[in-house]
Structure 1
Amino acid sequence: MDHLQTQGISLPRLGLGTYRMQGDVCRAAVESALALGYRHIDTAEMYANEDAIGPAIAAAGIARNELHVTTKVWHENLAPDAIRRAFDASLKKLRLDFVDLYLVHWPSRSMNLPAVFETLMKLKEEGRTRAIGVANFTLALLKTTIEDIEAPIACNQIEYHVMLDQSKVKNYLDAKGIPMVAYCPLAQGRAASDETVMKIGRKHNATAAQVALKWLLDQKGVAAIPKASRSESQKANLDALKLTLDDEDRKAIAALPKDKRLVSPGFAPAWD
């Protein structure tokens, strides 16, 4: 498994996304993924599944320094005191002494960004999170965060897949040496049924989902966190790492329409 080095942490490039998985289903999925060799688990306060992931991690018995755990603070909890309360609750549910990466899940129109990062930096200084970062930040918000506040963010986690162009944000992050973590990397299943991607899959004796995932992981500075509750899907995603795409494949994917943003709630920022 390749890793991305960022702000003192080593981030496995393929992780397990856990959005919309809860309770026993989530616990079983995390236990299965860890048994298969996954070492990057992504969760969030809002997913309401940290209390299932904690026992799964404990049961796996993996050395803590071999495991990467990301969680996130919800956009309604971005006041300094609220961040601390949310963080304490997350850590307790996860049954961990620290997390590897703590993200602002979504920007908020009412947030005081310098105060947010001051609080996150204190959590980092206290050793309770090894690194801090953001999710769903636009180019404008990234520039404020990185250039004005000078926050040492380890990543920006955003929606990214074969059907959505994120080149503006990616080019900026690349220039700053900051990784991008792709969520919805399979376009919520749409990539698996796209004729162009399916055709590439047939050529390589692979699935369209594996092609879409490898297309992301072939890119410099990109990690991906596909959600997969079934062991078979988790293994198929791992097997995507063995796939070799050629220039013809990349050209065909580049020609796909790139305007399908699937995650844009009412509180989302004005996208670049």
Structure 2
Amino acid sequence: MPPTSPVRDLTPTLLREWSLPSVGDSKYSRGQVLVVGGAARTPGAAQLAGLAALRVGAGHLTLAVADAVATAMAVATPEAGVIGLPQDGKGSVTGEGVGLLEDDLGSADVVVIGPGLDDAELTADLLKGALPLLGDDTWLVLDAYALGVLPGMKDAVAPFAGRLVLTPNSSEGGRLLGRDLDDLEADVPEIARTYGAVVSCQTLVADPDGACWRTGAGQIGLATSGSGDVLAGAVAGLLARGTEPLQAVCWASHTHAAAGDRLAAAVGRLGFLASELLAELPRVLVELGA
């Protein structure tokens, strides 16, 4: 294993000096995000990711979720276009309807796959069908079940090296390496090198070239259902705005963690909800001068 690079700390001062690019005044100039996920039992995960993308400044959002919940999702999320996808008898999204997404996969600036998917085999089928339809410049963000099946799909994602972002928790990171994570400062950069991706895992961000950053913000309360979906969406939203990948993931990781800090002060270290993070994201960005 190559030696790890020194880990740099992500601080508000550093981020203010590493300012985000300016954005246009059109919703399309701020980027189009497509979130593919949301099984019938877990549609909220896709919704959280999509709303997080909008909260950090993305301009246009489409959610692709299980057909049984698509109408309800469209009503609950008037900010988004919603596409219903075929599902099996348990409500899990299948890969059979990927053709319904062909235009959206080809035109989106960023595609997020994984939030709310709940079947490994069907997720693999969905990925196999979706990846060839992505645009040549489309960014791909993988989360949740899409990470779990990734070790068996290295050839399929190889063409996306350099435009791939992974947002694993520690368990998912272990699956990506085929072992438990025991040293984040070595393991997260190894994930990045292995998959040619920028990776956000726990408190660390790493890229394939060896850059490694640590966010000092964040509370134990972030370890709650839906929190990772918010992070994946925040990454997607900043990418959609035209932010370079390492910068987008660093900014999103810090903003997500700092939103947790704000809620810990207002609500308590435990007990705040992932949905409550959404409103804090733009407030953190304002504090950082973005």
**TM-score, normalised relative to structure 1:** 0.39
Bigger relative CO (Cα 8 Å, ≥ 6 apart) = 2
**TM-score, normalised relative to structure 2:** 0.37
